[in-house]
Amino acid sequence: MSGDLRLQGVVKSFGSFVAVDDIDLTIPEGSFFALLGPSGCGKTTTLRMIAGLEEPTSGAVHLGDLDITYLRPYKRPVNTVFQNYALFPHLDIYENVAFGLRRRGVKDVSGAVNEALELVELPHLARRKPAQLSGGQQQRIALARAIVNRPQVLLLDEPLGALDLKLRRQMQVELKRIQTEVGITFVHVTHDQEEAMTMADTVAVMNQGRIEQLGAPIDLYESPQTTFVANFLGQSNLVPATRKGSEEGVVVVDCQGQLLHVPAGRLTTDQSAFLVGVRPEKIRLADPGADASGMAATAALNRLTGGRIVDASFSGVSTQYLVRMPWEQELMVFAQNLEVGDLFPAGSAVDLVWQREHTFGLVGDRVAGVE
């Protein structure tokens, strides 16, 4: 039996505190799905309800045609990789990995166990105890222990959180490779937006128990629908503006006294006052009135004038500029260091130029999601 994982109207409250507030989610079979959000947003609680370690207060969870909402965890074809690995300290690695198989009554576990250990490239550790392994090794064994049971869904609860940066990057690639090889549905919970975007096919951004936006990483990033998503994934410049009118497929907005054009499909609200947004790496700096280098003057561009560079931080690959605009807001610009040397020193007056199609518009609190 196989199928998609579906959550319908799932709510979880602890007393008066609502941790998960009416979640509707369909996770396609065989995909790599990420639940992304800050701590306390309810993503781990949601994961635990899929695993069976928590019961929903209301709502339903289906795996294909099967209603697993109230099934005990040991009855679900779902396995979890825990945040702290939760390897059994009194059993050696081999027995840890074999645990699920043995509980299901499998007589000869050696084949499957050895294959799982090969998959995570640690067959030589079979007879050691968990305490003797490094963090990264424990993490891979935890993965092997879950995968060996070939569950329909594999849940990962911030499994890379305790690893150092280099190891984390390595494991991200590994996990993706294993998922593609094995073909199981992975549901990965994390607060690291880079991790979610690198690994997942689909990402759901959660905030305060609700899903703010769901989609492919690139869609979430380039077309955020709420300010939380705009600020949580990468960084955004959000400026208050008002609607002035519309032309063919384009909405004209008054942004602090300057005119900008937003493609109609990228404005997610009908209200007259909203926030206009653009990602810092999409903006080029130009001398006031001049063309920005690398942007053809004939392209459909948005331009904000009157900026003054307050700070320029060189970080090797790029330079991060803080530009103070006439309305006292500081906007961020990331410029790739194509040239050597300071093109726009602090204090210079600049215009901000970017392609119209990179603009988006939404309602909300400008600083939502900033931590």
**Three-class SS of residue 66?**
strand
**Closest approach of Cβ 145 to another protein, in Å?**
7
Among the listed residues 55, 96, 57, 85, the one whose alpha carbon sits nearest the alpha carbon of residue 72: 55
Q: How far apart are CA 33 and CA 28, in angstroms?
A: 8
Is 157 or 212 the residue whose CB approaches another protein more closely? 157
Q: Shortest distance, CB of residue 58 to another protein, whole angstroms?
A: 11
Smallest distance from another protein to CB 150, Å: 5
Nearer to another protein, 171 or 184 (CB): 184
CB atoms < 10 A from the CB of 296, how many?
A: 9
Toward another protein, which CB reaches closer, 1 or 340? 1
Q: Which residues contact 263 (CB under 8 A, 6 or more apart)?
A: 249, 250, 251, 356, 357, 359
Please report, as ranges, the residues that interact with another protein according to CB under 8 A. 1, 51-53, 55, 66-80, 82, 84, 86, 88-90, 99-101, 103-104, 106, 111-112, 115, 118, 129, 131-132, 145-146, 149-152, 181
The closest alpha carbon to 237, from 145, 170, 329, belongs to 329
Residue whose token pair is 């215009």: 351
State the virtual CA torsion across 79, 84, 87, 90 in degrees, nearest 10.
-150
Question: Looking at beta carbons only, is 108 or 248 nearer to another protein?
Answer: 108
Instruction: Indicate the length of the chain as a whole number.
Output: 371
Least Å distance, CB 155 to another protein, is 8
CA dist 304 → 88, 93, 112, 244, 360 (Å): 59, 60, 62, 17, 15
Nearer to another protein, 71 or 343 (CB): 71
Q: What is the enclosing helix (H) or strand (E) of 173?
A: helix 165-182
> Smaller CB distance to another protein: residue 88 or 327?
88
CB of 217 to another protein, least distance (A): 28
CB of 204 to another protein, least distance (A): 22
Nearer to another protein, 57 or 293 (CB): 57
In whole angstroms, the minimum distance from the beta carbon of 32 to another protein comes to 19
